[in-house]
Amino acid sequence: MPEHSGYSDRDLQREVTELQSRSATAARLFDIRRIIGGLFVVYGIIVTIAGITESDADIAKAQDININLWTGLGMLALGLFFLAWLWLRPVAPPTPDQDTERPAE
């Protein structure tokens, strides 16, 4: 005699749908473009501020090029590029058909 677990088909389907939703949210949250873009934006802001507050003596040491300012702006631009890429091309959650179709090895 089969053991009754207390779950109906509707409860099981609702739980599977909830887990798929959580999985898709986690995939979007931990997208590598978000992590790289966020880090570059944060470090770009810090280095840009350091470049803006640079003294004339420090700039003279670098052959009159404010290297912190230019590097910070470059990092900021790269970080914003990654975040724009993430926004324009979000990760599509896998469909149930893609999960079941696996190539034969």
CB 68 within 8 A of CB 94: no
| Cβ neighbours, 10 Å, residue 2 | 4
Residue for token pair 């978000």 = 34
pLDDT digits (tens, 9 = 90+) for 24-71: 566 666 788 899 999 999 999 999 999 999 999 999 999 999 999 999
Give the CA count within 13 Å in the CB-facing half-sphere of 31. 18
Q: Are 47 and 74 in contact (CB under 8 A)?
A: no
pLDDT at 1: 44
More confident residue, 35 or 22: 35
Three-state DSSP class for residue 92 = coil
